A and B are shown apart, each in its own frame.
Chain A
């Protein structure tokens, strides 16, 4: 009888293990971003969270697309 008891208890634990499984279905809320958060483009080692420096760099690049100003040096 005792020999049977051990596998029965072990088996019951195995069966119960299934009950502890977490749900794998993601719950989505309509209309709200559900993914991971993103950092700001100036929030890095290069710009050290200095938004003004980043905006200055972007503005310089954007202005550089204007060849009228670039060629004449205005």
Chain B
């Protein structure tokens, strides 16, 4: 199994916001928090392009690198998740993320930032699978039900693809060959261009 990846085909995205709605509905995300959103470039001009943006679960995730409390982890499927019990809401990950994925709900009387919330690739978090705690903190865990993220599965034009990176890339390659244009995958290089960081071997381990 390769790594889980998102791919948005700007040639197909019609800015319907179906992915945004699917995500909101699936995880009951609070007001002011948008795990996924649709960005339109050159809006209203000929040749405008829309792309659906969320956490891309980067190969070498900058959010993981800057987190002062090390609350991020990466699953064996390449999904970047975090432990909300550790998050202090500092916002460093927001500044580091090239996609603006980390979201901060307003918490308290003085507009303080709450704990960071972001796309989980519908993989829940470090709580018991399908538990009430997991749903409340991270949303539904579709991946452990053998399902893909709701946004990708809901996409009516299949502009947003999610799942095993190799399969998704094959689908896109085939699509580009058939239509003969639109081979640019925005964000793909930024998110997956850098190689995965090799895990640090434990002290005393043989190389």
Do A and B form a real pair?
yes
B127 at the A interface (CB under 8 A): yes
Q: List 17 A-B contacts (CB under 8 A).
A: A28-B68, A33-B71, A34-B83, A36-B85, A38-B126, A39-B129, A43-B129, A44-B129, A46-B145, A58-B143, A59-B164, A61-B153, A61-B163, A62-B163, A62-B168, A65-B162, A65-B163
A28 touches B125 (CB 8 A): no
For chain B, which range describes its interface: under 10, 10 to 19, 20 to 34, or 35 or more residues? 35 or more
Interface of A (DSSP majority class): loop
B174 at the A interface (CB under 8 A): yes
Instruction: Name, among B128, B163, B168, B200, the residue most crowded by chain A CB atoms within 10 Å (CB to CB).
Output: B163
Within 8 A of A (CB), among B83-124: 83, 85-86, 123-124
The docked-state distance in angstroms from the alpha carbon of A64 to that of B148 is: 11
The docked-state distance in angstroms from the alpha carbon of A44 to that of B152 is: 24
The interface of chain B, by Cβ under 8 A from chain A, is 1, 68-73, 75-77, 81-83, 85-86, 123-130, 141, 143-148, 152-153, 158, 161-164, 167-168, 171, 174-175, 178, 200
The docked-state distance in angstroms from the alpha carbon of A46 to that of B141 is: 13
The docked-state distance in angstroms from the alpha carbon of A29 to that of B164 is: 32
Give the nearest-CB partner of B170 in chain A.
A66
Cβ 8 A contact of B130, one of A28, A44, A61, A63: A44
The docked-state distance in angstroms from the alpha carbon of A32 to that of B200 is: 10
A62 touches B81 (CB 8 A): no
For chain A, which range describes its interface: under 10, 10 to 19, 20 to 34, or 35 or more residues? 20 to 34
B70 touches A32 (CB 8 A): yes
A20 at the B interface (CB under 8 A): no
B167 touches A68 (CB 8 A): no
A35 touches B174 (CB 8 A): no
A31 touches B70 (CB 8 A): yes
> How far does the Cβ of B153 sit from chain A's closest Cβ, in whole Å?
7
Contacts A35-B126, A57-B146, A65-B158 known; 13 new A-B pairs at CB < 8 A: A35-B73, A36-B85, A39-B128, A40-B75, A46-B146, A47-B146, A53-B146, A58-B146, A58-B148, A61-B147, A61-B153, A65-B153, A68-B174
Within 8 A of B (CB), among A7-56: 26, 28-44, 46-47, 53-55
